[in-house]
């Protein structure tokens, strides 16, 4: 028999039962008898929600039931399963309502809860809306054993999931002496399957109270529960037709059903899931309903706080030194398939701190495997770069560097408190899961300290780093669909807006296009928003109508237009946290770039801070521009004015940082070799423009052949 | 050449937000002109003034306050007196005694206190938090229930606890929400976006953009309010069109000018006068920048600021 038939048979069964019960109660009390559920302003709320009918007496309940019958269609289409399923839930409500027609307290003296008051709906609704309760489960059973029933209930409890019980599983919970009730978030609803009507009633009232969904708007109720109520069903075998029919209703509302019954059962992706191993019900269920459990505390023996971020561990206080410059060490985030990793598994492979002599050194390879429906490989480096902050917040741990050039020191005090290598994994697990909960569903950490294995792993990690770098380098402003803005520093500089493109990173140097993209996807209302680039005004200077609109919007009207590639025409503004400032040097027709660290004077006759006072604050000063170090080698640097060939002076340290890539760009753009050697620095020229000109002439700097700037 | 007046009214307007119920209900906002520019277009709802008491009573350390509240023993009596002060539009109750470090008054006791006040006071009620985000989340849920149907404004939904407050006060009990940010237009806007994504309608939300006493970094407050108002009106930014409510007293009655005694600073004159002047000056500056309501403590300040508003609109 097919799934359709089972649903249709089950719903017919529920309807028949409702009809019988209703006939009985009408025979007893008469059709004019009052009918109301206690402590609610929403009548029989399933019927009120889906049919828009206010039932106040038994005759109206009879009319409603007739209408419910009409919803139990059997045309063998998916919509019939949904419609019959919801009909089944309403029929269940009718059956339960007949009990309340006789007395407002039909379950008095039993373990069963029955109807939920509006106050209880609000009490549960608030944490459901805020996700303090990540979701709820309806367990229909008995479980294979009492012990397993208890494990399942407690497993959900520890994850903060609210548990409703129906049927034999309640007897098992009672037998085990489990404490139950609203406050402990385990509620035995009723023995028979129709008590499920109370739970659906609660869901519909939540939609009306919290979502302002209008009674009678069938679709809107299903949409609300699908989008906002994170519920699911665990049904133990044997699952009868009538339960299957209720399941049809649950699925229509967006609540997946997980069962271990394989008889006459069909898998429906994301909706009806067969998990024969009942011990895996919890994990399967959470994944199916896309519920992520928030991690609030980190299980380590030392404190974890930003207060420890700047902590320095000196050699004398150091228990162990992990040094990527001397040994094979690395930090590596890998995207994986969900099925291939186990959440919160932390593997330590090799010796631990205790195995190393005090003050000695060890190797460490950190592999963080993450999986998630919304995970993208582009986020890997973004997570990786945050490891530095995460690990530094541990009391007694100092971390510097990234990729395969890391250095970690662990203090004696931390070691004595019980800190071991595994705890590095605990911290990374907890932080990655909590900070990136929108994209990470599962996270597994492997900590390799076995030197023999590290060499190969490091080589493999390096392959990934290279691949990422290659991708970054291959990305141009032309081959991406959108740019991003960044207004992180508007609290200091209210009118400033950065436009971040693949070839022009944020002026602070900390926000690349990929970072901005990740920030946007992880925090859709946050400081980085999508800026389209569809309407080009002038390709040469990088002017776009969309970009101008974004700048107007995010500067709250202070700024009207910017160009992306010009220092003279509407240059991009600066907040004050630029890594470098570039300023026009009029005698040579070139530009000088000075980085924040350089304290000396430039050929412009000004120091960094003097130039900064003209450049910051979100104002446009043509001829001056703040930017990140990595923008210097970009082919878009001063593109409108002729590109990097305009660079005539840089401090030596800065030149070394950008040398390789700048030389590459110059070679590609102008066919010049060793371009950096033609750029003056503080050794050759300080503040004398004439000396600068002489230097440039001697070195045959390409700027001398270029058009005047002004 | 003769002066030709060009009315500078905007097509966008500030959302009108009604709090309280019945004849004493008041509406904040609704204007489509800059603050007090009633010559450009009529301002239907003049800025409003709230008088502040706390769950612990009145601020007895403020000179002259004890005389005003003389004879009022219980919290409801104090509330009644406060509500009757000339110029008062609404009653603001600060739940300072609920802060874990400041008495940690239990949630149920707080609910009882505010219900008792609500039973005797007809003017609208605004609830200010305890300044502790975790406590406020729990507290507001109970207070929203206790004050059902009173159409109360819950002023301190912050980035850390807006979800609970929006869900409990805004959705479950249909009260009004005040989104609190600390003098930052982007955070203010982000919070409004987040609260509206929870399902709370934008016209049920007010903003507390933060405050400072005049002379204590007030420039930041003034420009923030100013920029929010101009984004709301000139750029029709509907995520910044909520009316602005600014608690003033909590800032001004802690600064040196208001609290040092006459004995220590005889040349500064009467301490009561100084405190009142500080409160009035700050309130006036907030209103000029664009606040739709201010919250004050001293009845004298309330009376003066209300005269100022009446004279300008």
DSSP string, A192-248: SGGGHHHHHHHHHHHHHHHH-PPTT-HHHHHHHHHHH--EEEEEPSS--HHHHHHHH
Closest CA to A455 of A323, A640, A327, A313: A327
Query: How would residue B35 be classed by pLDDT, with cut points 50, 70 and 90?
Result: very high
Q: How far apart are CA A46 and CA A96, in angstroms?
A: 12
pLDDT tens figures, A381-417: 889 988 988 999 999 999 988 888 899 999 999 999 9
- Spell out which residues of chain A touch residue B197, defining contact as CB-CB under 8 Å: 525
In a domain, B296, yes or no: yes
pLDDT at A1: 63
Residues of chain A with CATH 3.40.50.2030: 118-288
Query: Which pLDDT score, from 0 to 100, does residue B210 have?
Result: 94
Q: Which domain holds residue B64?
A: 17-312
Which regions of A579-693 does DSSP assign to beta strands (E)? 580-585, 590-595, 624-627, 647-649
Fold of the CATH domain A118-288: Rossmann fold (3.40.50)
CB–CB contact A132 B199 (8 Å): no
Nearest CA in chain A to B230: A556
Q: For residues A46-84, b (16+ Cβ closer than 10 Å) or e, as one string?
A: bbbbbbebebebbebbbebbeebbebbbbeeeeebbbbb
Interface contact A490-B186, CB threshold 8 A: yes
Q: Does B293 fall in a domain?
A: yes
Say yes or no: A494 contacts chain B, CB-CB below 8 A: yes
Task: Judge whether A170 and A112 are in contact, CB under 8 Å.
Answer: yes
Contact check, Cβ <8 Å, B190/A525: yes
Question: Which residues in chain A are classed under CATH 1.10.8.190?
Answer: 3-102
Count of positions (residues) in chain A: 710
CB-CB contact of B26 with B16 (8 Å): no
- pLDDT at res. A131: 83
- 3-state secondary structure at position A143: coil
Q: In chain A, whose CA is at the least distance from the CA of B194?
A: A525
DSSP A558: S
pLDDT of residue B141: 93
Note whether A220 contacts B: Cβ–Cβ < 8 A: no
Chain A residues touching B194 at Cβ < 8 A: 525
pLDDT in tens, B193-213: 999 988 899 999 999 999 999
Range(s) of chain A covered by CATH 3.30.1650.10: 306-464
Residue B34 lies inside a defined structural domain of this protein: yes
Q: What share of chain A is helix, strand, coil (3-state, %, to 5)?
A: 45, 15, 40
Does residue B11 sit within a domain? no
Q: How many CB pairs under 8 A join A and B?
A: 62
Q: Which residues of A touch B184 (CB under 8 A)?
A: 490-491
Residue A527 and residue B186: Cβ atoms within 8 Å? yes
Query: Per CATH, the architecture of A3-102 is what?
Result: Orthogonal Bundle (1.10)
Q: How many residues belong to chain B? A: 313
A306-464 CATH: 3.30.1650.10
Low-confidence ranges of chain A (pLDDT < 50): none
Q: Is the residue at B295 inside a domain?
A: yes
Distance of CA A90 to the CA centre of its chain: 37
Q: Is A474 on the interface with B (CB under 8 A)?
A: no
> Which part of chain A has CATH 3.40.1470.10?
482-705
DSSP B171: I
Interchain CB distance below 8 Å, B172 and A126: yes
Q: Do B235 and A553 touch (CB under 8 A)?
A: yes
- A159's CB contacts (< 8 A; 6+ apart) are A134, A282, A286, A293
Interface contact A126, partner B, CB < 8 A: yes
The predicted model gives B247-267 an average pLDDT of 94
Structure tokens at B89: 């539009």
Kindly determine whether residue A494 and residue B194, on different chains, have CB atoms separated by under 8 Å.
Answer: no
Pinpoint the alpha helices (H) of A136-190. Answer: 146-158, 168-175
Fold of A482-705: 3.40.1470
To test the contact with chain B by mutation, choose from A40, A42, A130, A486 the residue with the greatest count of B C-beta atoms within 10 A, namely: A130
A525–B193: do the CB atoms touch at under 8 Å? yes
In this complex, do A129 and B198 lie within 8 Å of one another by their Cβ atoms? yes
CATH of the domain at B280: 3.20.20.20
At residue A305, the pLDDT reads 83
Q: In chain A, what residues touch B187 (CB-CB under 8 Å)?
A: 491
Do B199 and A212 make contact, defined as CB atoms within 8 angstroms?
A: yes
Interface test with A, best of B143, B157, B159, B168 (most A CBs within 10 A): B168
| Element of type H or E holding A303 | none
Q: What is the DSSP letter of A586?
A: T
Give the Cα-Cα-Cα angle B286, B287, B291 (nearest 5 degrees).
80
Looking at the structure of chain B, the number of domains it has is: 1
* Residue B6 is assigned to a structural domain of this protein: no
Helix (H, G, I), strand (E, B) or coil at A280: helix
Identify whether B1 is part of a domain.
no
Inter-chain residue contact A122 with B172, CB threshold 8 Å: yes
From chain B, the residues in CB contact with A491 under 8 A are 184, 186-187
- Enter the tokens of residue B79: 């509330």
d(CA A565, CA A572): 9
Is A487 in Cβ contact with B186 (below 8 Å)? yes
């Amino acid at each position: 028999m097919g799934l359709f038939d089972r649903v249709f048979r089950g719903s017919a069964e529920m309807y028949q039962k409702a009809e019988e019960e209703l006939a009985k109660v009408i025979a007893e009390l008469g059709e004019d008898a009052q009918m109301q559920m206690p402590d609610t302003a929403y009548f029989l709320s399933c019927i009120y929600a889906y049919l828009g009918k206010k039932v106040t007496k038994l005759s109206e309940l009879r009319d409603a039931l007739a209408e419910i019958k009409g919803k139990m269609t059997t045309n063998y289409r998916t919509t019939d399963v949904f419609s019959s399923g919801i009909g089944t839930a309403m029929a269940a409500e009718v059956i339960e309502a007949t009990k309340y027609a006789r007395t407002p307290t039909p379950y008095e003296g039993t373990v069963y809860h029955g109807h939920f008051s509006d106050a209880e709906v609000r009490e549960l609704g608030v944490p459901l809306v805020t996700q303090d309760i990540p979701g709820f489960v309806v367990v229909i059973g008995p479980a294979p054993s009492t012990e397993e029933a208890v494990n399942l209930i407690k497993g959900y409890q520890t994850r903060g999931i609210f548990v409703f019980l129906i049927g034999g599983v309640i007897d098992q919970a009672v037998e085990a002496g489990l404490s139950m009730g609203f406050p402990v978030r385990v509620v035995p609803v009723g023995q028979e399957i129709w008590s499920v009507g109370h739970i659906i009633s609660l869901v519909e009232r939540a939609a009306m109270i919290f979502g302002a969904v209008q009674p009678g708007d069938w679709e809107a109720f299903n949409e609300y529960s699908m989008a906002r109520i994170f519920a699911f069903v665990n049904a133990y075998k044997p699952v009868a037709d009538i339960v299957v029919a209720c399941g049809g209703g649950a699925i229509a509302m967006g609540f997946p059903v997980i069962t271990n019954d394989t008889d006459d059962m069909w898998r429906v992706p994301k909706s009806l899931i067969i998990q024969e191993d009942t011990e895996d019900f919890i994990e399967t269920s959470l994944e199916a309903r896309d519920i992520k459990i928030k991690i609030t505390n980190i299980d380590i023996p030392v404190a974890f706080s930003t207060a420890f971020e700047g902590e320095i561990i000196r050699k004398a206080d150091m228990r162990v030194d992990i040094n990527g410059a001397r040994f094979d060490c690395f930090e590596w985030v890998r995207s994986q398939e969900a099925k291939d990793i186990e959440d919160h598994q932390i593997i330590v492979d090799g010796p631990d701190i205790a195995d190393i002599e005090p003050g000695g050194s060890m190797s460490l390879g950190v592999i963080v495997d993450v999986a998630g429906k919304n995970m993208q490989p582009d986020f890997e480096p973004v997570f990786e770069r945050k490891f530095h902050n995460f690990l530094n917040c541990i009391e007694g741990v100092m971390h510097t560097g990234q990729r395969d050039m890391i250095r970690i020191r662990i203090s004696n005090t931390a070691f004595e408190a019980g800190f071991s290598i595994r705890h590095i994994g605990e911290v990374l697990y907890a932080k990655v899961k909590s900070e990136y909960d929108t994209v990470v569903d599962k996270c597994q950490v492997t900590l390799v300290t076995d030197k023999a294995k590290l060499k190969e792993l490091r080589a493999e990690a390096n392959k990934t780093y290279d691949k990422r770098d290659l991708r970054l380098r291959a990305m141009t402003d032309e081959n991406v669909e959108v740019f991003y803005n960044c207004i992180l520093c508007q609290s200091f500089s209210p009118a400033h807006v950065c436009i971040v493109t693949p070839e022009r990173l944020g002026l602070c140097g900390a926000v690349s296009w990929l970072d901005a993209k990740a920030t946007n996807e992880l925090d859709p209302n946050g400081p980085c928003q999508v800026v389209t680039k569809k309407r080009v005004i002038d390709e040469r200077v990088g002017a776009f109508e969309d970009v101008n609109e974004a700048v107007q919007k995010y500067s709250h009207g202070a700024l009207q237009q910017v160009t992306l590639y010009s220092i003279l025409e509407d240059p991009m503004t600066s907040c004050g946290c630029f890594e470098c400032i570039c300023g026009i040097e009029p005698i040579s027709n070139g530009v000088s770039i000075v980085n924040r660290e350089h304290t000396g004077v430039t050929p412009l006759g000004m120091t960094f801070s003097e130039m900064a006072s003209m450049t910051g604050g979100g104002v446009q000063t043509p001829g001056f521009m703040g930017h990140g170090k990595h923008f210097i080698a970009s082919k878009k640097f001063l593109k409108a004015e002729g590109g990097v060939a305009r660079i005539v002076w840089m401090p030596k340290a800065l030149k070394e940082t950008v040398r390789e890539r700048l030389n590459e760009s110059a070679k590609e753009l102008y066919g010049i070799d060793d371009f950096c050697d033609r750029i003056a620095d503080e050794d050759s020229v300080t503040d004398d423009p004439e000396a600068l000109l002489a230097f440039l002439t001697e070195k045959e700097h390409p700027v001398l052949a270029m058009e005047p700037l002004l | 050449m003769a002066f030709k007046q060009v009315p500078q009214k905007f097509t966008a307007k500030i959302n009108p937000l009604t709090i309280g119920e019945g004849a004493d209900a008041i509406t904040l906002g609704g204007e489509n002109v800059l603050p007090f520019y009633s010559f450009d277009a009529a301002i239907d709802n003049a800025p409003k003034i709230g008088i502040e008491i706390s769950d612990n009573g009145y601020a007895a350390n403020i000179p002259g306050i004890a005389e005003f509240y003389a004879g009022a023993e219980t919290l409801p009596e104090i509330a009644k007196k406060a509500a009757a002060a000339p110029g008062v539009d609404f009653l603001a109750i600060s739940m300072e005694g609920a802060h874990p470090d400041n008495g940690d008054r239990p949630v149920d006791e707080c609910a009882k206190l505010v219900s008792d006040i609500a039973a005797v006071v007809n003017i609208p009620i605004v609830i200010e938090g305890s300044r502790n985000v975790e406590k406020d989340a729990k507290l507001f849920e109970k207070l929203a229930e206790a004050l059902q149907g009173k159409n109360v404004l819950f002023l301190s939904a912050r980035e850390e606890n807006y979800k609970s407050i929006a869900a409990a006060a805004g959705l479950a009990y249909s009260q009004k929400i005040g989104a609190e940010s600390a003098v930052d237009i982007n955070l203010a806007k982000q919070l409004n976006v987040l609260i509206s994504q929870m399902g709370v309608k934008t016209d049920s939300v007010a903003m507390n953009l933060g405050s400072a006493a005049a002379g204590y970094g007030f420039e930041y407050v003034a420009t923030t309010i100013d920029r929010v108002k101009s984004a709301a009106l000139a750029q029709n930014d509907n995520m910044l069109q909520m009316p602005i409510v600014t608690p003033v007293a909590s800032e001004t009655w802690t600064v040196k000018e208001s609290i040092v005694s006459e004995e220590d600073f005889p040349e500064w004159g009467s301490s009561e006068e100084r405190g009142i002047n500080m409160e009035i000056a700050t309130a006036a500056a907030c209103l000029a920048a664009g606040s739709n309501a201010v919250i004050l403590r001293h009845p004298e300040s309330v009376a003066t600021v209300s005269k100022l508003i009446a004279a300008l609109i």
